[in-house]
Structure formats: C-alpha cells, structure tokens
Chain A
Amino acid sequence: MRQALTLGGNRALLTRANPLAKFIGVVLITIALALSIDWVSASVALAFELLLFPLAGLTVALLWQRGWPLILAAAVGGWSTAILAPDHGRILLDAGIWSISEGSLQLGLGFLLRGLAIALPAVLLMSCTDPTDLADALAQQAKLPHRFVLGTLAAMRLVGLMAEEWQTIGMARRARGVGSHGNPVQRLKATLGQSFGLLVQAVRRASRLAVTMEARGFGGARRTWARQATFSRLDAWVLLGGILIPAAAVAAALGAGTWNIVLLGQQ
C-alpha cells in the first residue's frame, strides 16, 4: 500500500502534467460516461483509455496486479443489473426473482463496460500523479483552504503505516489469545477489537503529528509555497483530451443509435 502513494520512479509524460488539469479531464470523461448506459460509448472511451496507458507509465500487467478487484466489481455490477433491470425483449432466463431478458442483458453488458470505463481514468490519474503535487495544485490553484489540504496530505502519508500497524495489531492480539479463526461471531468480535486498537493509534499519531506541524509554524493565515504549481502547454493537451475522448464516445453512441440517457429512464 505504501507504494501506492509515490510514483516509484515513474517518469512518463503525464507525470509532468498539472494534477488539476488531469483531474478535470477525468471528471469530464466520468460525467459523459455516466450520462448513458450503452456499450458503444463505453467501448470507445475504454479504447482511448487503453491507448493512454503508456503516457501515464501504466502497463496492462501492472493494472492487472492492482486493478483486478475493479474488474471483478464491474462484472458483478453488470450481473446485478442484468438480473434486476426491468425486462424487455425476449426472456432468456427466468428463475423467481432472477430474470434476464435481451434488453436487461444488453443493459448489463453496457453497465459492465461503463463501469470499467469510469474506473480506469481514476487509476490512470493516480498512477501518474503524486499526492503532494495534487495537494499543491488544490491549494494554490483551486484555492481550497491550505490548512485542510495540507493537514489531509500529512495524514494520508500515514496510510502505509496504518496498514502495517493493522497487521502488527492482529499478531499482537493473537499473542494474547484472540484468534482470527473460529465462528463468524468470534471473528467479528476479533475484527472489531483490532479496528478499535487501530483507531487508538490513529488518534494518538494524528495528535502528535498535529503538534509537529504546529510547532513548525503551520496553521497561520499566510504561507509561501516552495513548490509553485503551474500550468504548461502540456496541460492544454490534457484538457483537450478530456474533451475529445468523451465527445468521441458520445458521438459514436449517437451515431450507432445506442445513446441512452439514464435520467430520462432507460426503457
């Protein structure tokens, strides 16, 4: 988990783009895809996203390693939509509360692809964005209150430590006779106890970290920034991509006649 918070030597082109520009691009893609459930717009966007992988320094193997839960989740989402969406067209399967029709299957497939197409841009974004740079852009350029942005950034740095501590507390409690095996009730109790142990450490550590930050003058109204967040020509390209990809996806779906605005009902 610790690695997730640094770029780990990633030197790809998009690591040099402004985090805010990348974020806006991702939001635009997300909104466009969210508007419709159809396999065409989702597939087109997905294809573009795969093309962007090398620019973000991401490989398919790396994605598979980190992203398989996302793929599983997309599949489950597609499945649940297929069995629960209102049926229309030929009924393919009917088993009590489950029913899959041609219409709901198509919807389910569209859902699966759309889920992936929405999840991937965020994975792309974070694989080429250092959280520190993101915080700099949010505070300096998006003008979010710097105390909140930097306080959060400092706390986020401890996520790896928290994950390690979770494991340590688990072992420490086993050494006291609290088993992580046994029946579900015992396991639930053990997990709740372990969670509480982690919360105590989280509050303790956060309090100490706050003292450290305040003792370094943090919390005042005015501060300077050693790292200036700036926009460059690259960011114009990023934004352009953030407009063109969803535009292409929507145009393709409209052309193919599959565009299907969710808010107006999907019948």
Chain B
Amino acid sequence: MTTPEVRPAAISARGWGWRHAGRSRPAVSGLDLEISPGERVLLLGPSGAGKSTLLHALAGVLGDSGAPGAGDDADADETGALLIDGAAPRAQRGRAGLMQQDPETQVVLSRLGDDVAFGAENLAVAPAEIWRRVAEALDDVGLAGLPLEHPTSALSGGQKQRLALAGILAMRPGLLLLDEPTANLDPAGVLEVRDAVGRCLDKTGATLVVVEHRVAVWKDLVDRIVVLQPGSATESAVLLDGPPDRVLEQARDMLIAAGVWVPGHVPATRARAAGGADGQGAPGQGTGDTPADPAAGGLLLAAEKLSVSRERPRRAGLLKGFGRIPPAPVQAGITAQVRAGEALTVTGPNGSGKSTFALTLAGLLPPAAGTVSAATELSRGAGIDPYTWKAQQLIARIGTVFQEPEHQFVTGRVLDELMFGPRQLGRGEERVDELLERLRLRDLVDANPYTLSGGEKRRLSVATVLAAHPQVLVLDEPTFGQDANTWAELASFLSELLDAGTAVVSVTHDAEFSQVLGGRELRLGAPQPELPGRMAPGVAAP
C-alpha cells in the first residue's frame, strides 16, 4: 500500500550559515548542499560541525524555539539561504518531521493515540482523517497491537521512538529528520527503530536526513553520506559527499580520528595485563566461586539472595499499625561476588533491574530482601552493609558513575568538581593532577561542567568518582551514546584500573566493551513481577 499524499521534499542550501544568539562564532557557515526528493542521506562529522543546527533549521524550529541557542532577542544571525522545495522551512510547518535523541521528550501526550494525533491536529487536519492516519501510522511503526489509550509512560525507549515516528508520519511529511535517534537505546531498541524507519521510507518515499555516529546502523539504509566540518567564510562546510562505500573508503582515517564508529573498525584499546582478558579476546574462564581471573584478588563485596527495587518500603495505614510494606522487587534472588582487580559485567533485557541491582550493590539503595555485604578489606570498620555507610565513607570505598553525568555534578567548575571528593575526605588531592592529565581535562579546569560536550562530561564524571580512590567502581551504561574515541579511552583506562587492583562492575549492553574488560558476566532474567516466587535468579555465568 502506498501513501499518495506524501510528496518527497527537496533540500537546497546555498552559502547557508547560522550563528546562535549570544555566540561569537557561527554554528554552521558556508554550507552548499543539494538533496533531491527521496534521497536518503547520512550526515557525519566531528562534534561542533553543526549537524544538529542544520536539522533544527530544516525542521523550522531555529530562531523561534528551544533549540539550543535559538535566541529570544533577534540576536541570532542567518546568512545565505536554506530552502525546502524552494521555500523557507519555517513557513511550512509539517513539511519536515524531526526526531531527537531523548525518548522521554519525543512523547508529547499521555495516551498513545492522542500523541500520534498531535501533529496532525496542529496542521488542522479534519478529525476523521486524523484517526485514519493514527491507525495507519501505528501500524506502520509496529505499535498497532497496543490500545489507543495505552499510557505512553509505560513504553520502552525503543517504543517511544517508534511512537514519535508514528506522530511524524501522521503529518505526512516529505522529509524525515533524525537527530541521533538511537543513541539512548539498547541494541534491540536500535534495530527496532532503524527497521521501522526503513519500512516507512520504502512506503512513503520521503527524503531522509539522519545524523548518527554509529555508521553501521544506517549504512545499508542510506544512499549517500555527507561529511560536514566546521566551515568558515573561505572553506566549504561539506568535506565529503558521495555514495556510502566510497565516502567511507576515502574518509576512513579522518572519520576514525573524529570518533565516528566506522563499520568493521573496533577502536584500539589497551590490553589487560597477563592473567586478564587479552584486549580483544574472550572473557576470562572460571565458574562459581573461583575467580574468573587468576590475577583477581580477594572478595570485596557480595550480594546474597538479593531482591532489588527503587521504591522505598511504604508505610501502611493506621489500620495496619503503620507497619512497613516491602516494595515489589524488580528482580530477586541475585547472588554475585565482586573481587579486587576483576571485572563484573551485568547484562539482561530492559526492565530486568540491572541498574537497580548496581545501585543496591553500590550502597545507594537499600536491599528489598537479601543482603549486600562488604568484606573487611573493603569496609575497614565502616560496617557490613554499604547502604548504612555515611556518604564520605562510601565514596572512599565504592564509587558509582551514573548513566547521566550531569546528575553527579555538584559544583560550578571542573577543577572544583574533581577536588570535591578529596576535600570531603581531607586527602588525596594529589591524584587530581594525574586524573586531569590522564582523562584530558587539563584545558577545561575552569569550565562549568554542564557546558562540556558529551564525551567530556563522561570523562569528568569518571574522574570525579575516582578522585576519592574507591576500591570498587560501579558504572551504569558508561558507553551509552559515546563516540568511538571516548569509548576507547574509557575502556583502556578501566583496564588499567583493573590491573591496578580496582574492582569494576559495569551495567552495559555493549558486548565489545565488556570484552575489553574481561572478567565475568552476571545475566539477569526478564522481569516477572507477577510471580515473585518464581523469578529467574541472576546467574553468574563464566
């Protein structure tokens, strides 16, 4: 079935440039680019090349919206011309549909059907036609099995992005703009979204422009790759332009240097020392209680028949004597050991309680049932249960790096951020210097942490936690959305820490990352909240 209403859009940029309000330098300048109707283009380039700015401009939201730097006081500056079908994007709302990275903000309304209808309503489509489009769009993205009243907050990340796609399709746009649409998703979610986009393009024939640094995901779907660079008055913003295979061949080294994930290339990482995993190699051997890694040291931390939940126990009402009702656990019966110098990778499907387990192990959440106990080597007199430790005791023993680095920022300056832990403890400031050097933060010491790039924020958040010298490091999806350079740096750095005797626990979907670290894998089963007695126990697999 084809959709005759969709008319693929043509894009034309002639000497186009944009300077955000309050900035001295333009985000994009001197862009010359022609995209024919129905073409599928992957945009690549280093951060700062203006990829997102271009997408925002094409979506018609620059200058009048929340796009970063879209000024309030006519302070922004546009040069040249950027046209869709010969007219300004802002003058033709609905001609282009934009999907951004964060799934939570790609959903507008609380009910599935309402959310899909939202865009069509804004374009003043007749109500009967809107509901026809809603049903069709939900079918196209594979969400037709859910009722229209289904709460959007109950969807997974991949489903939210597909829902966003449905909302866009219901506007019948001639141009799809995807701004790192899968960066926040697990591998299954990435494929879900990519395949849905592919199906919809085949059906509608719409033009596609996608920005994404994982090339392999989109390579087979696009028929052209454009590599952007920070342009200037004299130099073109387009560095390379052509069929995927040719561009990837010509620009391979340059793209690798810029941190782009080029297909078939695994970034070089430091190899674990003898006894550890061999860099690219298989995880270490071992089963049960024997350390997987012969070099691994003593037991530091153990989880015993652990049930985990983010909810606090509720107080029962007066009638039940104000007792405490334990929360329903997301996962139960987890048994695991953390040893010095050994990596433990926690894997499992979405909603299996991986992060919740890691937070409980790290002394940040109370166990819903079962125990987390620290060996004397780790507790050093602070008590057995990490959850009962004071914050200062905790950071010197177990360090936790959260998925969103911004959640952990506590000061307004990079250097203060690094000094914060040592100052709390009254020692260890000398390590800050080493970390600044090692994680390439030296030039950023005076910057506000929130203003850093994604990769810089990640490096900073790892450094700040390590500045307190914890013996156990817990990381929640540390490689999510990171470019290849940050990825390789992080993996190498952690392998060094492991060799130096730190225990590293990471929650990750990233198989290549866990391979570099070696060690053991703890696979958590699918969540079964209905049957608390028969929950799949977490099993430490070799």
Query: Chain A interface (Cβ within 8 Å of chain B)?
Result: 2, 5-6, 61, 64-65, 68, 130-132, 153-154, 157-158, 160-161, 165, 167-169, 171-181, 193, 197, 200-201, 205-220, 222-228
Would you give the shortest CB distance from B535 to chain A, in whole angstroms? 23
Q: How far is the CA of A121 from the CA of B107 in the complex (A)?
A: 31
Inter-chain contact A176/B151, CB cutoff 8 Å = no
- The residues of A that contact B464 with a CB separation of less than 8 Å are 176
Residue from B122, B151, B392 within 8 A of A218 (CB atoms): B122
Q: Mark B90-134, 1 if CB is under 8 A from A, else 0.
A: 000110111010101111111100100111111111110011001
A selection of 12 A-B contacts at a CB cut-off of 8 Å is A5-B110, A130-B110, A157-B108, A171-B400, A175-B364, A176-B391, A177-B420, A181-B390, A212-B106, A215-B61, A219-B64, A226-B114
Inter-chain contact B407/A169, CB cutoff 8 Å = yes
Total A-B pairs, Cβ < 8 A: 189
Q: Known: A6-B151, A217-B94. Contact between A212 and B409, CB under 8 A? A: no
Inter-chain contact B421/A216, CB cutoff 8 Å = no
Known: A65-B317, A219-B64. 11 other contacts (CB 8 A): A157-B107, A174-B391, A176-B408, A178-B391, A201-B406, A211-B66, A214-B59, A214-B65, A218-B119, A224-B120, A224-B126
Inter-chain contact A210/B392, CB cutoff 8 Å = no
Would you give the shortest CB distance from A148 to chain B, in whole angstroms? 15
Q: Known: A215-B97, A225-B121. Contact between A177 and B424, CB under 8 A? A: yes
Inter-chain contact A223/B124, CB cutoff 8 Å = yes
Inter-chain contact B104/A216, CB cutoff 8 Å = no
| Smallest CB-CB A-B distances: 7 pairs | A207-B66, A217-B122, A216-B119, A179-B391, A210-B66, A172-B407, A215-B98
- The residues of B that contact A220 with a CB separation of less than 8 Å are 93, 122, 124
Q: Known: A68-B317, A154-B108. Contact between A211 and B98, CB under 8 A? A: yes
Q: How far is the CA of A168 from the CA of B319 in the complex (A)?
A: 32
Q: Mark B314-351, 1 if CB is under 8 A from A, else 0.
A: 00011100000000000000000000000000000000
> On chain B, which size bracket covers the interface?
35 or more
Inter-chain contact A174/B310, CB cutoff 8 Å = no
Q: How far is the CA of A193 from the CA of B420 in the complex (A)?
A: 14
Inter-chain contact A132/B114, CB cutoff 8 Å = yes
Would you give the shortest CB distance from B99 to chain A, in whole angstroms? 8
Residue from A160, A197, A208, A215 within 8 A of B102 (CB atoms): A208
- The residues of B that contact A168 with a CB separation of less than 8 Å are 402, 404, 407
B465 within 8 A of partner (CB):
yes
Instruction: Name which of B59, B391, B465 has the most chain A CB atoms within 10 A of its CB.
Output: B391
- The residues of A that contact B319 with a CB separation of less than 8 Å are 64
Instruction: Name which of A161, A175, A228 has the most chain B CB atoms within 10 A of its CB.
Output: A175
Residue from B107, B110, B123, B362 within 8 A of A132 (CB atoms): B110
Q: Known: A193-B410, A216-B168. Contact between A175 and B108, CB under 8 A? A: no
Inter-chain contact A211/B407, CB cutoff 8 Å = no
- The residues of A that contact B96 with a CB separation of less than 8 Å are 215
Inter-chain contact A131/B66, CB cutoff 8 Å = no
Q: Known: A175-B364, A175-B399, A213-B108. Contact between A227 and B102, CB under 8 A? A: no
- The residues of B that contact A173 with a CB separation of less than 8 Å are 407-408, 410
- The residues of B that contact A206 with a CB separation of less than 8 Å are 66
Q: How far is the CA of A165 from the CA of B104 in the complex (A)?
A: 12
